[in-house]
Amino acid sequence: MAAKNLALRAALGLSVVVVASFRAPARSLRGMGPKRSRYFAGGGDAAAKPPKARKAAPAAKKAAAKAKKTTTTPAAEKAAASPAKRAKFVPLSPPDGWRRQWAMCVELRKDRTAVVDSMGCGELTDPASPAVDRHYQILVSLMLSSQTRDTANAATMRVLLDRGLSVSRILDDTPPAEFEAILKAGAIGMYRGKTTYVYETSRKIRDDHGGAVPETYDGLVALKGVGPKMAILQLQHAFGRIEGISVDTHVHRISNQLGWTGGDTGKNPEKTRRAIESWIPKAEWKHINYIFVGLGQEVQTEKAKLTRKALASSDPPYALALLGTLGVDAAAVAKKEGLDLPA
């Protein structure tokens, strides 16, 4: 029995030595950096950075990313573009010479022969329809016009008007797939998304507004697929209310080229709108869009016609110089005509 106890004690003593020799290297790892300490119980950073803290980091990052995302939703962008927000913009001083520039732009557009003059969204309604349906027709034409040529939009609207275009006609008698096919055949940009927007907006108009298009800015921008530019034009063309300047690509580009925005506003039409609304007299707001849109269209596709109008204007050298600012090769025309352009 004594012999067994001695053997047991000897075995236990040996196991302690083995365990001690096995754990000894772990003590030498305590000085190693955090990259190693995460794998060893005795690491020096184990207390400073427990596993729970490291596991919580991805969740925190995910929450932060979600919070950041929610601040840039279309609804937030629309809210930032509301009249109340626009009122906080620091007004600019009117640029020197703007009245002369504006007067010449109006003179160059007095013939009203640009595409927008006959195919603009305000022109694409059925005059025999009730007012409530005409208001809806204007809204649909505005929704379809984004990223689409005026000629394509006008042709597609004629197809829809011939079928009868109203909230009930769309929701009750026109399957979405059929509506989408019409948009696709008419070369309407982003036709799938616009189909979804038109149906969602039509349902909201029926369910929340008694079948009539909202007559307020906030009510309009709350509709799916309707932004500030569309809302302002809708209020003007459907209800005769001027609540802002509608800034599309032409208005955005020309306003910056003329130096009306106080600096380059990049690709942000809302910055341009806030800038020019801050100093342009409100009596001119309703004219800005159709003057600049038509002028921009002619600069892009009808330069020869535009230069002829400039030569026939009340001040040909100034008119050509203005067109030169907008991207027309006015110097070549002036040289051919023997005109000296003003600085």
What is the Cα–Cα distance from 237 to 202, expressed in whole angstroms?
A: 19
Would you put residue 208 in left (φ > 0), alpha (ψ -120 to 50) or beta?
alpha
Catalytic residue from among 229, 282, 286, 309: 229
What is the Cα–Cα distance from 323 to 331, expressed in whole angstroms?
A: 10
**CA-closest candidate to residue 246, choices 267, 264, 273:** 273
What is the Cα–Cα distance from 117 to 91, expressed in whole angstroms?
A: 31
What is the Cα–Cα distance from 17 to 103, expressed in whole angstroms?
A: 100
What is the Cα–Cα distance from 66 to 29, expressed in whole angstroms?
A: 40
Joined together, the tokens standing for residue 138 give 């204007």
Between the CA of residue 239 and those of 104, 120, 154, 198, what are the distances in Å? 29, 16, 21, 20
H or E element at residue 17? helix 2-27
Vertex 251: Cα angle to 105 and 260 (nearest 5): 75
Q: Is 110 one of the catalytic residues? A: no
**CA-closest candidate to residue 251, choices 261, 238, 241, 240:** 261
Q: What is the DSSP track for 68-92?
A: HHHTTSHHHHHHHTSHHHHTTSPPP
Residue type, 323: L
Under 8 Å CB-to-CB from 30, ≥6 apart: which residues?
A: 42, 43, 44
Which residues are identified as catalytic? Answer: 229
